[in-house]
Amino acid sequence: MTAANPYVQELKHREDQLAIDYLPAVRAMAFRLKERLPSSVDYMDLSAIGTEELVKLSRRYDETQNDSFWGYAKTRVYGSMLDYLRTLDVVSRANRKLIKAINRAIEIHLVTHNVEPSNEELAEMLGEDVDKINDARIASDIYTVMPLDDQLQVGDGGAALEKVERDELVDVIKSVLSEYSEREQLIIQLYYFEELTLKEISGILNITESRISQIHKSVIRKIKTEMGEDDG
C-alpha cells in the first residue's frame, strides 16, 4: 500500500484543526440560540448540526478568498441551525389559525390577569385539546428566533410577503415601529439585533417576560396587517 501524499495529509490536518479551533464558538452559538427556544428543542441537536456544518466548511475553505475562517463560516453555521429548526416546525394551515387564536386569547388574558395563561387554561378557553395547544405554542415560540421573513410567512403561507419588495417591507417595518414608544422599540432592538433572551431584556428594562412577548407579537401582527394579510 502506497503512503498517502504528505501534502494531502497536511491539508487534511489543517482542515481538521480549523474545525477543532472553532468548535467552542459553535457550541457557544448553539447554547445562545437554545436559550431563546422552547425546552423541547435539544441543545445537543443544535450543536451537532452546527458542528457538522463547521466540518464541511473547513474542508471547502479557501484562505486566498476569505482571510477569516470564522467570518466565512459564522453565518453559514447559524443558518444550518435555523434550517434544522425549520424542519421541526411545518406549520399547517389549521395550526396557523390556532396560533392566531392562542395569541388573541393570551392578549385578553394578559389585560385582566397580567400573566400569560397556561396551556390548560388556553385549552379550556378555546375548546381545544391541550396537546394541540402545546404543539402550536412550541411552533410559535420557535418562529420568534427566526428571521423576519420566516415569521411573516406563518400567517398566510407567505402570500403577503410575496406582494412587497424588500425596500417596501423595510418602510412598512419602520412605519409600524414608529407607532410604539421608545421603550417598546428598544425591546425589539434588544431582541432582534442584540439577540438577548426575554429574561435578559426583562432584567435590563424591569418589564415582565409576558409583556415583552406581547409587544413582539403585536409588532409582527401589525406588520402583517400593513402588508395586507388576511387576518381571518
Give the range with max mean pLDDT: 51-60, 192-201, 209-218: 51-60
Domain with 98, as residue range(s), is 93-226
Give the pLDDT band of residue 93 (cuts 50, 70, 90). low
Of 59, 88, 117, the residue that ends a domain is 88
Same domain for 97 and 167: yes
The rounded distance, in Å, linking the Cα atoms of 72 and 111 is 46
Per-residue pLDDT for 35 more than 70? yes
Same domain for 221 and 112: yes
Same domain for 180 and 105: yes
Same domain for 216 and 117: yes
In a domain, 117, yes or no: yes
DSSP 34-57: HTTS-TTS-HHHHHHHHHHHHHHH
The number of distinct structural domains making up the chain is: 2
Q: Is residue 45 classed exposed, middle or buried when 0-12, 13-18 and 19+ CB atoms within 10 A define those classes?
A: middle
The rounded distance, in Å, linking the Cα atoms of 156 and 189 is 25
Among candidate residues 22, 58, 28, the one with its CA nearest the CA of residue 43? 28
What is the amino acid identity at position 60?
R
CATH number, domain containing residue 178: 1.20.140
Same domain for 218 and 104: yes
Same domain for 151 and 217: yes
Q: Is the pTM of this model over 0.85?
A: no
Distance of CA 60 to the CA centre of its chain: 27
In a domain, 158, yes or no: yes
